């Protein structure tokens, strides 16, 4: 079939249908590129449509609140501490770190407490204002394209669970590349389209415009001027974290032979029957419930998000870097 939007990775207009419904059973056409295996919602919405969606509605629809609750801050703060531990070998004291899709600003806040010059980029107004006002951190309200930074001024750009929401991942990476110093680091985390930890019907989400596997994510980085440094999967296989170094690799072949077949094979084999025969449907809700109870318990003593994050910092992060 010919998709309505061309492939954002290789530019091909040769796709195959993957799904017709989203995780809530509503119509959502999802296609896969025959040439490279990138998966997207077809057609991809325009940036104007997205702007409206992000600025007003996204968090309301997605999490049920327009500002982060203490439980969200706690969860995001714990994740932010893990991210620091994962990245610390790549960091230089006091360096500039731009966190694209900074949410409530938890990662930026904790990094600033370690004396990094960390700043956020966040299109959702409620979350951006929360981070600016409650946490007192610098957040650029808007999309990546709207942010102007001096060229080659950043040591690291992080994009955690945000690239899959953007109209053109290629353009976003080309844009953030300009911010980075030579050999600067780009860190991307996205859901893994090959994940089998969730129910098969839960794979596609209206807000996720693109779905990657490790090969398509790496190739996207290579195409936009980055050398893959390392790629990790989360323990449940649900997320891909890829680290890239800014480096021009010259002309890159964007097609990935066999990747479409590989992704389709994983999706086809992940049937409801197999899913319920695995431990995931039983262990996952239990882990989630345990997590929620722990969050309620852990957050009950704190008056503000800042106090919560400071508590996480004193327990989980060093007093100084390095
Ligand atoms: Zn493609």
Dihedrals phi, psi of 105, to nearest 5 degrees: 90, 15
Measuring CA to CA, which residue among 181, 279, 204 is closest to residue 18? Answer: 204
Distance of CA 59 from the midpoint of ligand 1 (Å):
30
Percent of the chain with pLDDT over 90: 68
Pairing assessment for the beta strands 226-233 and 239-246 based on DSSP bridges: antiparallel
Distance of CA 42 from the midpoint of ligand 1 (Å):
13
What 3-state class would DSSP assign to 244?
strand
Residue 35 in this model has a pLDDT that exceeds 90: yes
The pLDDT value given to residue 66: 65
To the nearest whole number, what is the mean pLDDT of the chain?
Answer: 91
Q: Identify the band that residue 58 occupies on the pLDDT scale cut at 50, 70 and 90.
A: low
Separation CA 281–CA 270 (nearest Å)? 13
- By CB atoms closer than 10 A (0-12, 13-18, 19+), residue 94 is exposed
Across 125-135, average pLDDT: 90
Separation CA 241–CA 50 (nearest Å)? 24
Residues constituting the chain = 322
- Sorted by where each starts, the structural domains of the chain and their CATH numbers stand as 45-249+257-316 (3.40.50.150)
What 3-state class would DSSP assign to 73?
helix
Q: Tokens 């998000």: give the residue.
A: 305
State the pTM of this model: 0.92
Dihedrals phi, psi of 181, to nearest 5 degrees: -70, 165
Q: Is the peptide bond before 255 cis (omega within 30 degrees of 0)?
A: no
Distance of CA 210 from the midpoint of ligand 1 (Å):
12
Distance of CA 276 from the midpoint of ligand 1 (Å):
32
Distance of CA 45 from the midpoint of ligand 1 (Å):
18
Q: Identify the band that residue 62 occupies on the pLDDT scale cut at 50, 70 and 90.
A: low
Looking at mean pLDDT, say which of 20-29, 147-156, 204-213 comes out highest. 147-156
Distance of CA 255 from the midpoint of ligand 1 (Å):
6
Distance of CA 283 from the midpoint of ligand 1 (Å):
35
Across 22-41, average pLDDT: 93
Measuring CA to CA, which residue among 117, 189, 122 is closest to residue 155? Answer: 117
Distance of CA 285 from the midpoint of ligand 1 (Å):
35
Helix axes 259-269, 214-223, angle to 10 degrees: 150
Distance of CA 1 from the midpoint of ligand 1 (Å):
13
Distance of CA 92 from the midpoint of ligand 1 (Å):
36
Measuring CA to CA, which residue among 64, 139, 72, 82 is closest to residue 105? Answer: 139
Distance of CA 159 from the midpoint of ligand 1 (Å):
22
Residue 123 in this model has a pLDDT that exceeds 70: yes
H-type helices in 161-232, by residue range?
169-179, 214-223
Residue 272 in this model has a pLDDT that exceeds 80: no
Mark the residues whose beta carbon lies below 5 A from ion ligand 1: 7, 9-10, 12, 33, 35-36, 38
Distance of CA 32 from the midpoint of ligand 1 (Å):
8
For CA atoms 120, 121, 127, 130, the dihedral sign is positive
Higher pLDDT pick, 58 / 179: 179
Distance of CA 229 from the midpoint of ligand 1 (Å):
22
């Amino acid at each position: 079939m010919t998709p309505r939007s061309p492939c954002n990775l290789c530019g091909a207009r040769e796709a195959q249908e993957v799904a017709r419904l989203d995780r809530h059973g509503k119509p959502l056409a999802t296609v896969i590129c025959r040439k490279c295996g990138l998966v997207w919602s077809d057609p991809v919405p325009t940036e104007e449509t997205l702007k409206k969606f992000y600025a007003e509605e996204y968090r309301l629809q997605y999490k049920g609140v327009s500002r982060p609750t203490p439980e969200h801050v706690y969860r995001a703060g714990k994740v932010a501490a893990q991210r620091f531990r994962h990245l610390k070998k790549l960091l230089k004291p006091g360096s500039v770190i731009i966190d694209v899709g900074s949410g409530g600003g938890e990662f930026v806040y904790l990094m600033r407490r370690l004396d990094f010059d960390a700043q956020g980029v966040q299109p959702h107004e409620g979350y951006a204002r929360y981070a600016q006002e409650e946490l007192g951190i610098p957040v650029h309200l808007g999309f990546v394209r709207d942010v102007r930074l001096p060229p080659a001024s950043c040591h690291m750009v992080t994009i955690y669970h945000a690239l899959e929401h953007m109209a053109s991942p290629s353009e976003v990476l080309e844009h953030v590349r300009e911010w980075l110093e030579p050999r600067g680091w780009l860190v991307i985390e996205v859901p893994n389209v090959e994940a089998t930890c969730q129910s098969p019907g839960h794979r596609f989400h209206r807000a996720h415009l693109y779905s990657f596997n490790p090969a398509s994510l790496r190739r996207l980085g290579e195409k936009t001027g980055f050398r893959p440094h390392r790629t990790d999967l989360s323990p449940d296989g649900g997320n891909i974290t890829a680290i890239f170094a800014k480096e021009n690799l010259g002309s890159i072949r964007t097609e990935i032979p066999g990747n479409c077949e590989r992704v389709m094979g994983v999706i086809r084999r992940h049937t409801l029957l197999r899913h319920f025969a695995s431990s995931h449907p039983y262990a996952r809700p239990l882990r989630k419930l345990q997590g929620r109870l722990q969050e309620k318990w852990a957050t009950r003593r704190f008056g503000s998000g800042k106090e919560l994050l400071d508590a996480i910092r004193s327990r989980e992060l060093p007093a100084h870097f390095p």
